[in-house]
Structure 1
Amino acid sequence: MTSHFEIADREAMNAGRRLLGKVAVVTGAAGGIGKEIALTFIREGATVVVADLDRDRTAAAARDIDPSGERALGLTMDVTNEEQVEAGMSRVVEAFGSLDILVSNAGIQIVAPLVEFEFAKWKTMMGIHLDGAFLTTRAALRQMYRQKGGSIIYMGSVHSKEASPLKAPYVTAKHGLIGLAKVVAREGAAHGVRANVICPGFVRTPLVEKQIPEQARELGISEAEVVRTMMLRETVDGEFTTVSDVAETATFIAAFPSNALTGQSIVVSHGWFMQ
């Protein structure tokens, strides 16, 4: 029999957990920003579905996030595949009974001058960033509308607001996510659904690490110059944004209690872009 002291201890432990009882799907969560968001959500009391393309990395990330296997599920999903997205979201609802938060985070980066950019690579970028956001949003909204509530968070970028050389499809797609979030905010309000965009500055993830030598080659400058003059020049302190910075912002948005915060884009960039 559970004692009153045990109940009180449990209630005290749970009191500060902002996402207690929520079910969240985070795409692109096998590493980088997505994995940190999943870890933070778990700490805040949520059950988290780690959705990513690679089966082994996805399963490993879910185990890392919750070794008990009770509150983290690895879900192999290609966000550009309609059948996989629909089946995956259905599995989430069957397993946990609800879907309260979607973090549309899956993304890649390919850098090249626009005049040389291959159409196939352009379509790949658009597919992952925009088609993926649309498909996962549509599937999530069906459940969120049924349960009369939910929060959708898109992973934008400072490039949702600004442009940089060599990143035409990335900048285009990240701008597009703001438009999608605004429509979801308008349509979802009557159903208790909010939608917002996080716009990080440069976060030193494997995706950004890959960009540094690529941009150095394309621009004919050193890797140190890429970091100093292309990535961090406009920040107030010359610092990279961290995965923890982004995850804390995602938690704040996910836990926000009303429609006062919807249809917005929040920049997390050490002052690189100010609005």
Structure 2
Amino acid sequence: MNRLDGKVCVVTGAASGIGKRIAEVYAAAGGKVVIADLKLDAAEATATEIRDAGGDALAVAMDVTDEAQVVDGIAKAVAHYGRIDVLVSNAGIQIVNKLTDFSYADWKKMLAIHLDGAFLTTRECLRDMETRGTGGAIIYMGSVHSHTASKLKAPYVTAKHGLLGLARTVAKEAAAYGVRANVICPGFVRTPLVDKQIPEQAKELGISEDEVIRNVMLKDTVDGEFTTVDDVAAVALTLAAFETNALTGQSIVVSHGWFMQ
């Protein structure tokens, strides 16, 4: 089994959904987890659950689009645990709309959360990793939409494609001090983010919610199944525990065969 004994792992957007499950799996594998989330009370609740289960967790408030909050949050993590070994840049939202109906404000909001947030958290964690020179892992939460596109998701698809470029650049720049950078690309995971999209897409496309699930979301999977948070967390654990530059600059698709590369 992959182990993270003593490794300090920052997970953004970790109060719920995929991020929460990754944090739980990391803690169960011996990692010390920093629950970074926009909502401090929700982050505290998740951290308390992990501690109650025997894990080690710290909650920090972090709007990943706010440079000062990211700098402060990572500084608090380093002050508390002494180092950062793993970053999972997971915070994200979804706004569904036709390109011609997208407001510029919504476009900028989407790119800020997914790309600016990834840059800011990466920069702060890498500064610690570079100073220590003992290695580390940066993991970005991409999507099948890092490789393909769907209607109504222009900024999301654009941002998720962008994470591939960031990861590959980090992989080259940070290799000298043993830091790996990779992207996890899940298919549709049944989280509140996806549940919210089902009625939205049904309305936009003029079809039923069941048809959205069967004919849009899961149409190209091999088994008609949603990807689970456990599926994604298992890959995140493997990437965090992998110790050499043999596995860096890659994207790993976890989608029940929806997208194959």
- The residue that corresponds to 2:253 in the other structure is 267
Shift of 1:66: 1.8
Output the aligned Cα RMSD: 1.0
Which segments of 5 or more consecutive residues in structure 2 lack a partner in the other structure?
none
Contact 1:237 1:270 in 2 (8 A): yes
- The residue that corresponds to 1:207 in the other structure is 193
- The residue that corresponds to 2:154 in the other structure is 168
The CA distance in 2 between the partners of 1:88 and 1:188, in whole Å, is 22
CA gap of 1:233–1:92, structure 2 versus 1, over 3 A, is: same
- The residue that corresponds to 2:129 in the other structure is 144
1:94-150 deviations in Å (ceiling 9; x for gaps): 110110000000000000000111100000000000000000000000001112111
The CA distance in 2 between the partners of 1:206 and 1:192, in whole Å, is 36
Give the number of the structure whose alpha-carbon radius of gyration is greater. Answer: 1
Give the AA of the match of 1:272: W
The CA distance in 2 between the partners of 1:111 and 1:17, in whole Å, is 37
Contact 2:27 2:55 in 1 (8 A): no
The CA distance in 2 between the partners of 1:79 and 1:196, in whole Å, is 19
- The residue that corresponds to 2:62 in the other structure is 77
Shift of 1:268: 0.2
1:22-70 deviations in Å (ceiling 9; x for gaps): 0000000000000000000000000000000012111111111222786
- The residue that corresponds to 1:43 in the other structure is 28
Which segments of 5 or more consecutive residues in structure 1 lack a partner in the other structure?
1-15
Give the AA of the match of 2:58: L
Match among 179, 193, 203 for residue 217 of structure 1: 203
1:215-235 deviations in Å (ceiling 9; x for gaps): 000000000000001100000
Contact 1:63 1:69 in 2 (8 A): no
1:232-271 deviations in Å (ceiling 9; x for gaps): 0000000000000000000000101210000000000000
2:4 pairs with 1:19:
yes
- The residue that corresponds to 1:237 in the other structure is 223
- The residue that corresponds to 1:124 in the other structure is 109
Contact 1:17 1:43 in 2 (8 A): no
How does the TM-score come out when normalised to structure 2? 0.98
> Share of identical aligned residues, percent?
66
